[in-house]
Amino acid sequence: MFRLDGKVALITGSTRGLGRAMAEAMIAQGAHVVINGRSDDAVLAVAAELDLDGRSASGVAFDVADLSAGDAAIDTIVGRHGAIDILVNNAGINRRAAVEDFGDDEWRDVLAVNLDAPFALSRSAGRHMTAAGRGRIINTASIMGTVARPTIPAYVTSKAGLVGMTKALAVEMAPHGLTVNAIGPGYVATEMNTALVQDPEFNSMVVDSTPVGRWGTPQEIAAAAVFLASDEASYVNGQTLLVDGGMTTAL
Ligand code: NAD
């Protein structure tokens, strides 16, 4: 079960963190994964590291906030590999400031990367998937799409929007053979969270308020992505799977 042999997957923001773990897990299940990030050097280095057999990984560098570059990248992937079977909208950024100090540019940057880009890439990849009669779109949302914390208003808004977009695309695209789902990770120790992991007070908050009593690992998020990408998840559609150690279930 959960094999992805012969499938071509684009995972945005996969040079490190959750995206990279998803790439490793999908390759282990037989997929060809196209690595993405903004820097050519980083993308090519990670693709080379993961491409142990010469056919498991390749790279396409582009900034997901540049929507026309995203469209071109999807066409390049389909041109090279003949299909795009799996799109994981994973690249995401966060900016922290109190609401009264939150800048317009910060607001737009977060919405552009976390919400505009997933829509545009889904639209673009969705055209090819619809023509092929099959496809999987997986959005990396967050528990912050369901609950909220202070000082990250753009992030919370973007992730709640992504949860809504997941449902909107799921109902429209399923008749064409696609499923669209999201993963809502809880707190996972990645580069994005380095400052939080090192802050003793925040670290205690995570450990104490998570029923399993620890931060998550990138591999635990990647396992959910493999499941949602697999044929076995064919009747799961429009869902946001919260992988958070029970944090949002506890009061
Ligand atoms: P990370 O910062 O470690 O990695 C993010 C990746 O996205 C990097 O490869 C980066 O180069 C890439 N990226 C950022 N902006 C980009 C852009 N404009 N174009 C292309 N690539 C870009 O982050 P992470 O912790 O691995 O998070 C991945 C996703 O998971 C994000 O959407 C994040 O919001 C979400 N998430 C993370 C956590 C967590 O605890 N780490 C929790 C909930 C949700």
Q: For residue 175, how far is its CA from the centre of ligand 1 (angstroms)?
A: 30
Please, which pLDDT band fits residue 191 given cuts at 50, 70 and 90? confident
Residue 196 lies in a domain: no
Please, which pLDDT band fits residue 237 given cuts at 50, 70 and 90? very high
Distance CA 246, CA 205 (A): 14
Does 149 have pLDDT greater than 90?
A: yes
Distance CA 120, CA 113 (A): 11
Token duo for residue 23: 């790439």
Token duo for residue 34: 């196209």
Does 70 have pLDDT greater than 90?
A: yes
Q: Which atom of ligand 1 is nearest to the CA of 19?
A: 26
Helix (H) or strand (E) holding 57: strand 57-59
Tell me the angle at which helices 117-132 and 67-81 cross, rounded to the nearest 10 degrees.
30
Token duo for residue 62: 């582009």
CATH of the domain at 114: 3.40.50.720
Looking at residue 111, what is its pLDDT? 98
CB of 64 closer than 8 Å to CB of 12? yes
Please, which pLDDT band fits residue 9 given cuts at 50, 70 and 90? very high
- CA atoms 71, 72, 76, 79: torsion sign: positive
Question: For 23-36, what is each residue's pLDDT tens digit?
Answer: 999 999 999 999 99
Q: What is the DSSP string of 146-209?
A: TS--TT-HHHHHHHHHHHHHHHHHHHHHGGGTEEEEEEEE--B-SGGGHHHHH-HHHHHHHHHH
Q: Where are the alpha helices (DSSP H) in 92-152?
A: 104-111, 117-132
Q: For residue 223, how far is its CA from the centre of ligand 1 (angstroms)?
A: 17
**Closest alpha carbon to 81 in 36, 31, 20:** 31
**Closest alpha carbon to 25 in 6, 55, 4, 45:** 4
Average pLDDT over residues 222-241: 98
Average pLDDT over residues 211-233: 97
Residue 55 lies in a domain: yes
**Closest alpha carbon to 178 in 226, 227, 234:** 234
Residue nearest to atom 6 of ligand 1 (CA): 13
Does 192 have pLDDT greater than 90?
A: no
CB of 62 closer than 8 Å to CB of 70? yes
Average pLDDT over residues 159-164: 98
Q: For residue 208, how far is its CA from the centre of ligand 1 (angstroms)?
A: 25
Looking at residue 221, what is its pLDDT? 98
Average pLDDT over residues 198-214: 96
Average pLDDT over residues 69-98: 97
Range of the domain at 115: 8-189+218-243
Token duo for residue 221: 């998020």
Q: Which atom of ligand 1 is nearest to the CA of 188?
A: 40
Polymer length in residues for the chain = 251
Residue 61 lies in a domain: yes
- Is the distance from the beta carbon of residue 188 to the nearest atom of ligand 1 less than 6 Å? yes
Residue 122 lies in a domain: yes
Question: For 100-144, what is each residue's pLDDT tens digit?
Answer: 999 999 999 999 999 999 999 999 999 999 999 999 999 999 999
- Is the distance from the beta carbon of residue 65 to the nearest atom of ligand 1 less than 6 Å? yes
Residue 226 lies in a domain: yes
Q: For residue 92, how far is its CA from the centre of ligand 1 (angstroms)?
A: 4
Looking at residue 194, what is its pLDDT? 87
- Is the distance from the beta carbon of residue 216 to the nearest atom of ligand 1 less than 6 Å? no
Distance CA 84, CA 69 (A): 16
Beta bridge partners of 180: 137
- Is the distance from the beta carbon of residue 157 to the nearest atom of ligand 1 less than 6 Å? no
Please, which pLDDT band fits residue 205 given cuts at 50, 70 and 90? very high
- Is the distance from the beta carbon of residue 51 to the nearest atom of ligand 1 less than 6 Å? no
Residue 129 lies in a domain: yes
Residue 139 in 3-state DSSP?
strand
Residue 209 lies in a domain: no
- Report how far apart the first and last C-alpha atoms of the chain are (Å, whole number): 35
Question: For 99-112, what is each residue's pLDDT tens digit?
Answer: 999 999 999 999 99
Q: For residue 21, how far is its CA from the centre of ligand 1 (angstroms)?
A: 12
Domains: count for the chain: 1
Average pLDDT over residues 77-97: 97
Q: Tell me the catalytic residues.
A: 155
Q: For the whole model, what pTM was predicted? A: 0.98
Pairing of strands 135-140, 32-35: unpaired
- Is the distance from the beta carbon of residue 37 to the nearest atom of ligand 1 less than 6 Å? yes
Average pLDDT over residues 159-177: 98
Residue 167 lies in a domain: yes
Does 42 have pLDDT greater than 90?
A: yes
